[in-house]
């Protein structure tokens, strides 16, 4: 919920201040705000792999 609100507010401010020229900055902002979520997803994938490996050894 935080990232969605944050990205929306920043997008509105960039478009109001810079007009149509702020589109490049808006795209860069979208990529940079998605980076922390990518790290979280990577950690979740690793923990899922470790959990499934442990479960398969118990079978």
Q: What is the mean pLDDT of the chain?
A: 85
pTM score, two decimals? 0.54
Tens of pLDDT, residues 8-24: 887 788 778 877 777 78
Average pLDDT, integer, range 22-51 = 88
Calculate the CA 7 to chain-centre distance.
Answer: 10
Q: Band the pLDDT of 40: cuts 50, 70, 90.
A: very high
End-to-end CA distance of the chain: 39
């Amino acid at each position: 919920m935080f990232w969605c609100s944050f990205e929306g507010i920043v997008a509105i401010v960039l478009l109001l201040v810079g007009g149509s020229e702020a589109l490049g900055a808006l795209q860069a902002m979208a990529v940079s705000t998605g980076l922390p979520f990518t790290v979280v997803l990577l950690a979740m994938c690793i923990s899922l792999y470790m959990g499934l490996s442990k479960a398969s050894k118990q079978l």
